[in-house]
Chain A
Amino acid sequence: MSKFTFPESIRSRPVYGTLEPRAGAAHLLIADAHGAEAILDIATPDMMAKAHIIYIPKGEAFEDKLRALNPAQFYAGPTYGAAESRIHKALSDAKMGLQVYLSGTEGLMGQAQHAAMQAGIPHTAIQTEHRGSVARRMQCVHCKGITEDVEIDPFVCAHCGLNLFVRDHYSRRLAAYQGVCIDAEDPGNVPEAKGIYE
C-alpha cells in the first residue's frame, strides 16, 4: 500500500494533495521510494520532454520505470543529502513557468519544498503527493538535532538521547515536526513505543 489517509489534525500539520500535470515551461519532479508511482501516474511524453526527474529509490525498484519515461534529465541518488546540490542547481537555473512536483515521504517533500521556497516559489504553488512510508523527519526541540524517518512514538533522539514525543507541530522552515521530551518530569517513565498512527 503506497497510499495512506492521514487523520484530521491541527492547522500546523501539512496536507498533501494529488499531483496533476500543469502547463509550464519546465517540470521538476522530485520523489523518493513509492513517490515514483505518483510520477508514473501523471507523466506524458510532452511533459517528459521538458522534465527533470530527481529520484531517491530508498530500496524500491522504480528506477527503470522512471527512466523508461524518457525525461529530458534523470538522476537517481542514494539520499536526499546526495541529491541536494543537484536540486539547488536545478532551482537556481530555473525560470518562471517551472512547475514543481514532489512525491513520496514527508521528509523528502518537506526538504524539497523548503528548497523550492528559498528559490522563490510560493509554497502553495508547489504540488505534493504523499506515497509510501508514513515516517517523519523530526527535530528535537531540546538539542535541535534532526532524526530522519521516525516511525514510532515516542522515539529516542539520535543526537542527545532524550525520549521524544512525536507532535503534529510542523515547521516549513526546518521541514520537520517537533519532538518534545516525554519524561522530563519523571525521568524514565516512558510509555511503550508504538507506530505513530496506531
Chain B
Amino acid sequence: MSGAEKIAVTVTDIVPLNELVTRFEFKRTDGGLLPTFSGGAHTVVEMRDGDLTRMNPYSLMSDPMDQTAYTISVRRDDEGRGGSLFMHRNVSVGDEMTISYPVNLFSLDLRAKKHLFVAGGIGITPFLAQIKQLERFNGNWELHYACRSEALGSYVDDLTSHHPNETHVYYDDQDQAIDLVNLLDGQPLGTHIYVCGPKGMIDWVRATAAKEGWPREAIHYEEFLAPQPGKPFEVKLAVSNKVIQVGEQESLLEAIEREGVDAPYLCRGGACGQCETRVIDYTGNFIHRDHWLEDDEHASGEKIMPCVSRFEGKTLVLDR
C-alpha cells in the first residue's frame, strides 16, 4: 500500500473552538503509544463517508513528545469537497478512524539562530507543535499571527497567556496588519522565517523576504491545497491497462485508488512530490495546481501530480 503506515485510532475528544474551527483528539484504539513526531508534521485522516473515502492532511498541533494522544484542528470549509464538513458533522467521540503516521514537510531548521513564525488563520496549527518543541529546548522564536477577528482567533488566548512576549496577534477587522518589511529588517543573522496560511500570505512573505535579501534556504512555507472539483475526464492507466473516469468531485488520485490501482502518495496536497506521475500521451490541457513541479515541467506535458491537478481534453495516458 502507498502512503505512510496507518494507525487505528479512536476519537477521544471533540472541542468546538469557535464558529469555524473544531479540535479533535485521537488515541490509539489498541491503547498503545503513538509515535513521537517533529513540529510541523501532519497526519492524513481517512474519512469513510458511505462508498467514498476521503483522505485529508491535517497538521498535528499537540506536543510532539506526547505519545498518548494527537490533536488536530479542522476549519470548516463550506465551499470545499466535504472533508472538513464530514469531520464537523459526522464524527463523534468514540468513533474509530484511521490516520497515517506523521509526515513532516514543514520541519524546523534547527541550525537557525532564531525562528520567526508568520501564521494566517488556521495556518497557526503547525506552529503550535513547533512552539512546544522549541520551548523544550529553550529555542528562540517569535510568532506573528493574523486572524480575521477576535471571535475567530483560534488559540490566541492560550498563546498570549503562555507566551506573552513572543506572541503578536493582528485582527483584520480592527485593521491590524503585519508590518512585514519592518519585521524582517534587523532580524539577527541566522533567523529563519516560516509561513503557513492562505496562498496570498505565503506569496507575500516569500516575495518580501527574497526582496530584502533573505536566502531562499531560510524561508519555509507550507500550504496544503485541497483538490478542486472540475469537469469529468477519462484517463488511460498504461501499466495497469485500465481506462478510468475521473468524476467532477474526486481527484485524479482518488479515481486511480477507487479502481484498485496502488499509486504513491504522502501529503495529498500538492506539496510533497510523492505522487509525481509520468504522462505517456495526451491531447488536451493540463490544469496543474501543485507546488511541486517547476513551471517548465508544468509546460512540458510530461508530468502530473494527480493529488491536486486535473486534465481537460480528449486523451490522457499515464505511466501508472
Contacts and interface: CB of A to CB of B under 8 A. Distances in A.
Interface of A: 22-25, 91-92, 94-99, 119-122, 124-125
Interface in B204-232: 211-218
Contact of B213 (A91, A97, A120, A124): A97
Nearest to B213: A24
A120 B189 contact: yes
A121 B215 contact: yes
B219 to A, nearest CB: 10
A125 B189 contact: no
A96 B188 contact: yes
Interface of A is mostly: loop
Sorting the interface of chain B by its residue count into under 10, 10 to 19, 20 to 34 or 35 or more gives 10 to 19
Nearest to B191: A96
A19 to B, nearest CB: 15
B213 A121 contact: no
A57 to B, nearest CB: 27
A97 B212 contact: yes
B217 A91 contact: no
9 contacts: A23-B211, A25-B185, A25-B212, A95-B189, A97-B213, A120-B111, A120-B113, A120-B189, A125-B216
B55 interface: no
A125 B113 contact: no
B31 interface: no
* Chain B CB within 10 A, most for which of A95, A96, A121, A122: A96
* Chain A CB within 10 A, most for which of B189, B190, B214: B189
Contacts of B111: 120, 122
A90 B211 CA distance: 22
B214 A120 contact: no
Nearest to A120: B190
Given A23-B212, A23-B213, A120-B111, A125 B218 contact: yes
Contacts of A24: 212-213
B190 A95 contact: no
Instruction: List the 10 shortest-distance A-B pairs measured between CB atoms, nearest first.
Output: A120-B190, A24-B213, A125-B215, A122-B217, A97-B213, A96-B187, A94-B189, A120-B113, A120-B189, A97-B212
A95 B185 contact: yes
A125 B211 CA distance: 14
B85 interface: no
A121 B187 contact: no
A122 B218 CA distance: 8
A125 to B, nearest CB: 3
A120 B185 contact: no
A25 B191 contact: no
Interface string B195-206: 000000000000
Given A25-B185, A97-B184, A119 B213 contact: no
Given A97-B213, A98-B213, 15 more contacts: A24-B213, A92-B189, A94-B189, A96-B188, A96-B189, A96-B214, A96-B218, A97-B212, A97-B214, A120-B111, A120-B191, A121-B190, A122-B111, A122-B215, A124-B215
